[in-house]
Structure 1
Amino acid sequence: MTHTPTSRNAVALAAVCLTSLMFGLEISSVPTVLSTLERVLQADFRQIQWIMNAYTLACTTVLMATGTLADRFGRRRVYLISIVVFALTSLACGLAQSAPVLIVSRFLQGMGGGAMLICQVAVLSHQFREGRERSKAFGAWGIIFGIGLGFGPIIGGMIVAVADWQWVFLVHVVLSLVALALVLIGVQESRDPHAHYLDVPGIVTLSLATFGLVYFITQGPDLGMASAQALAIAAATVASFVAFVWIEKRSPRPMFDFAVFRIRRFSGAMFGSMGMNFSYWSFMIYLPIYFQGAFGYTSVDAGLSLLAYTLPTLVVPPLAERLSLRFDARRVIPLGLFTIGLGFLLMKVGSGMAQASWLTMLPGCVLCGVGLGLTNTPVTNTATGAVSANRAGMASGIDMSARLISLAINIAVMGFILLQGVGAYLVRALPSGFDAHSLRSLAEKVAAGSLESVAQGNAALAAADPQGQIVHAALVHGFGWVMVYGVVGAWGLALMSGVAFGKGGSQDDTASPASARTGQAEHARQI
């Protein structure tokens, strides 16, 4: 069968949109099943954190390398390989019978997903070259990716309700087979004969620094923050980051050119990029736990409740683009972060009400989503538009890396704060007969959200808290600490973003959506 260029492009766009949907779903659908995984796989609170963080860290690891490998060996070929890897590792996730196996499988799945994401941009960049056609293609890609993120929670909850948790992962095996067929039919092979340099030392040192910091935050309390092992991990993390900075400053083609941070608009946008993940995206991992633990919701109910948190991110971006054109991104980005912080403040108030429910949380959830929608698009457009065209790909790479690294670190930080908040309440509310080890173990079980099973096998707790009121209040108290952290993080980075932008800058400097998409496409060629 002969395919015209137009029909091939349509099939290629369908392949890219399907794989972007898969990537978005795999980020946002998993949080709603974490409580199920905690129960079925006997996973503790830290393992639940690693189930999410393994995916994010792996995406960051392959992000820098995939563009160069695709340019050198063929974008279509690497795209096909990434889809196969994603399918096989999704199968491994679905067949996992223990938390450690699932964590390893999630890391490998993240490598396939991160490679798949970069290849999507590379394919769109090569196959859609005309301005109008290119704009429509990137627009469709962004919309479908947003749908995957926005509706992932309810889709994950519904899958658990009608089938087993394994199908949250196994569904991607089926979708991958369809995607492979679409890529084989529609995507053209392309290469860049000038792509030779791969910054392996930079990739390794940055990955080690990020992993070390997340590991220190997550495992430090068990090791003892002042223990020799914990201090050694901290020292190795600092050494890796210092080595990364040294390597990038000496490299003739650095993946992170620190000189771009001297550009005020770029630095202001990067504070906005980090601010979203200090607050909004990292809290999305824990919010389903709160809905299920504090309110007793099912996975489906928790997913439906999360729609108030995610859907505004789909409808607000067009407004954000108009506001950026009228008032400039240097005002819109800090405003978006301030709105996210205000949403966290309202969630804190709503969670503390006597008859707290999703209705009391609703205003804060909606406001957080609105703030994210105001921030997301202007950040990308400004970051890529603030630098020259030949550096737009690197700017896009730094933006994406800042998001994923901030997300990985703050998943760990929010988990640490949640544990400390729960533990502090239990120390005050329970009798003095509980030792420190028992209290910490209890705090981890409460933070995981399965309050019904907390007292099982614990006669002392059953006697001290027969109605479960203390453990419920401890969970609410711990999440209150996390929400306060969300306020401080969002508002602090809003302030830093505003200071970085300064009073200067004109609307002419603000990149249009088309230029931002061009920058994202350059990322696949230049990293």
Structure 2
Amino acid sequence: MRNRWFTLAALCFAELLVMVDNTIVNVALPSMARDLNAGISGMQWIVDAYTLVFAGLLLTGGYLGDRFGHRRVLTIGVGGFVAVSALAAMSQTLGQLIAARGGLGVFAALVFPATLAIVTAVFPQGRERATAVGIWAATAGVAVAVGPVLGGWLLEHFSWASVFWVNLPLGGVALIAIGLLVPGTRPESVSRFDLPGLVMSALGLGLLTYSVIEGPHYGWISLPTLGGLLGAVVVLGLFVRRQLGIESPILDVRLFANRYFATAAGMISIAFFALFGFIFLITQFFQAVMGYSPLEAGLRTLPFAVVMAAFSPIAMALSQRIGVRVVAVLGALFMSAGFGLVEIADETSGYWSLIVWSMTLMAVGLAFISGPCTQLIMDALTPEQAGAGAAVNDTTREVGGALGVAVLGSVLTSVYTTGVLDRLVALGAPREVAEAASESVMAGAEAAARAPESAAGPLLSEVQQVFVDGLHSAVWVAVAVTAAAAVAASMLLRGPRRAPAGLDTSDRRPVAESVGA
């Protein structure tokens, strides 16, 4: 029994390694923007290149683990992740860094689904499985908040390249732990390799994520965006048709006919939509509006990780006692309330008097959604589907996160760009200064710092006020989406869950009774 928990620790460490990279760059964005001459679009691509490739290849990574062994694929993934981290750290141009971030996403897509697949194999049933899945899910949430802390500490002492160099020693530790503690979990029967299915899944998910990321740039109703979304739907539709027609599919898409499986996946996607978008915004708020250093900004996201870790086991225990439905609905309401608190924040708001409480509510909400809904997804899968099914669970996180950064970032950008240009021109600032300030809030802060002393204060105040206006507008989207998720979960998770047709759940502790009345 003790060895299983050591195995879980090793898997969670590998998971932490790749999930931290989702947010560790956020506090480094201002430094990267200065050194690599990147505007808001460039900064978003530094974040989203990783997410784009990660999300697009998750089904492929899960399927390869099912075929060739999850530990083997996990080892290759961590090793490749370490190697590409060195290339990212040595990037000299924005294009090189974005390409390296995409490369990191390739290997992260091998690591992430393998960790969850092995967890469910090592803990096949009962309360131990619920606990293990809860810890795994909590690690993913904690990593989102740990990234800015670690990144802030590194930037306090080193250049932005250190956020990538740190992956080398951490990856080495992960490889040693995997070799010593993680067993092989390759299924006894291996299906025929489905190359067309893999190409369709990667192309469809990649096109979907790309269209979401670029939607704010081209416009949501522009031809490139609508064409990309339509193309993604067509390709994914062909993927579904193929999976329904072959004997051994990469993913049993009939699982999505089960409303509990589909709703759980949707809830996770919405939770990470709100979370990733908020982290992208709040790290800029901490530095540009509240004046914190990268380390100070990172440390102020730490309560999120602490609360998430503390409430994840509580969420799993409650889901066993009162049902996943009630816990997930409460989680969405907690997140909505947390975002609602942000609406009364401004440039004078105190961190401890307001902002930390909003983050606490969000963290409790994420804990209440992530663990119980992850277990609901994995309990619907056979052992042979563990890798691909885990990839579905993981894809919901990454696509939801990419959508969150794109949508919330788009709302903020539209409000900030127009507002700051008009206000600075009205204040008497030269047109070229106002246009430079409209590139990003950090560019606005720098423009104010370069202005004459008598004008610097008013310029900075206007920049900060317009950014807060944009933040409020963006966060209203998160409030509405999470509140709608609470309503949807209350209806769709009602009643006992039935296993999908053909799924033998005799070797598992049934969770049908725990979904909700």
Give the TM-score band, short-chain normalised: 0.7 to 0.9
Does structure 1 retain, via aligned residues, the 8 Å contact 2:335–2:361?
Answer: yes
Aligned Cα root-mean-square deviation (Å):
3.9
Give, in angstroms, the shift of residue 209 of structure 1. Answer: 3.7
Does structure 1 retain, via aligned residues, the 8 Å contact 2:65–2:186?
Answer: yes
User: What letter is aligned with 1:453?
Assistant: E
Give, in angstroms, the shift of residue 464 of structure 1. Answer: 11
CA change 1:124–1:326 in 2 (3 A) is closer
Which residue number in structure 2 is paired with residue 401 of structure 1?
A: 395
Give, in angstroms, the shift of residue 483 of structure 1. Answer: 0.8
CA change 1:75–1:137 in 2 (3 A) is same
**Correspondence list, 1:124-139, <5 A:** 124=119
User: What letter is aligned with 2:394?
Assistant: M
Q: Does residue 485 of the first structure (1) align with residue 477 of the second (2)?
A: yes
Which range is displaced more, 405-414 or 264-273? 264-273
Which residue number in structure 2 is paired with residue 176 of structure 1?
A: 171
**Correspondence list, 1:8-157, <5 A:** 15-124=10-119, 147-157=142-152
Residues 415-474 of structure 1, C-alpha deviation per residue, up to 9 Å, x if partnerless? 11111121342365344799999977643322xx34322358899xx9798532222111
5+ residue gaps, structure 1, are 519-527
CA change 1:324–1:437 in 2 (3 A) is farther
Residues 108-148 of structure 1, C-alpha deviation per residue, up to 9 Å, x if partnerless? 11221221223334555666779898788767656665654
**Correspondence list, 1:277-292, <5 A:** 277-292=272-287
1:366 to 360, 368, 375: 360
Q: TM-score, normalised by structure 2?
A: 0.83
Q: Does residue 268 of the first structure (1) align with residue 263 of the second (2)?
A: yes
CA change 1:51–1:200 in 2 (3 A) is farther
Which residue number in structure 1 is paired with residue 415 of structure 2?
A: 421
Alpha-carbon separation, structure 2, partners of 1:139 and 1:332: 13
**Correspondence list, 1:292-303, <5 A:** 292-303=287-298
CA change 1:427–1:505 in 2 (3 A) is farther
Alpha-carbon separation, structure 2, partners of 1:132 and 1:495: 28
**Correspondence list, 1:498-509, <5 A:** 498-502=490-494, 504-505=495-496
Alpha-carbon separation, structure 2, partners of 1:246 and 1:434: 58
1:475 to 462, 467, 470: 467
Which range is displaced more, 244-253 or 40-49? 244-253
Alpha-carbon separation, structure 2, partners of 1:516 and 1:157: 43
Identity of paired residues, percent?
Answer: 26
Does structure 2 retain, via aligned residues, the 8 Å contact 1:275–1:494?
Answer: no
User: What letter is aligned with 1:380?
Assistant: T
Give, in angstroms, the shift of residue 16 of structure 1. Answer: 3.0
1:316 to 307, 311, 318: 311
Q: TM-score, normalised by structure 1?
A: 0.82
> Alignment length, in residue pairs?
504
Which range is displaced more, 389-398 or 177-186? 389-398
Alpha-carbon separation, structure 1, partners of 2:268 and 2:286: 27
Q: Does residue 453 of the first structure (1) align with residue 450 of the second (2)?
A: no
Give, in angstroms, the shift of residue 32 of structure 1. Answer: 2.0
Does structure 2 retain, via aligned residues, the 8 Å contact 1:326–1:507?
Answer: no
Which residue number in structure 1 is paired with residue 239 of structure 2?
A: 244
CA change 1:440–1:411 in 2 (3 A) is farther
Please state whether the residue corresponding to 1:468 is helix, strand or coil: helix
Which residue number in structure 2 is paired with residue 521 of structure 1?
A: none
User: What letter is aligned with 2:459?
Assistant: Q
User: What letter is aligned with 2:162?
Assistant: W
Please state whether the residue corresponding to 1:196 is helix, strand or coil: coil
Alpha-carbon separation, structure 2, partners of 1:453 and 1:251: 58
Does structure 1 retain, via aligned residues, the 8 Å contact 2:437–2:447?
Answer: yes
User: What letter is aligned with 2:346?
Assistant: G
User: What letter is aligned with 1:158?
Assistant: W
Which residue number in structure 2 is paired with residue 305 of structure 1?
A: 300
Give, in angstroms, the shift of residue 488 of structure 1. Answer: 0.8
1:412 to 389, 406, 410: 406
User: What letter is aligned with 1:369?
Assistant: A
Alpha-carbon separation, structure 1, partners of 2:17 and 2:253: 33
2:486 to 494, 498, 514: 494
User: What letter is aligned with 1:484?
Assistant: W
5+ residue gaps, structure 2, are 512-517
CA change 1:189–1:338 in 2 (3 A) is closer
Alpha-carbon separation, structure 1, partners of 2:439 and 2:510: 43
Which range is displaced more, 397-406 or 197-206? 197-206
Does structure 2 retain, via aligned residues, the 8 Å contact 1:33–1:157?
Answer: yes
1:167 to 162, 166, 179: 162
Alpha-carbon separation, structure 2, partners of 1:198 and 1:49: 36
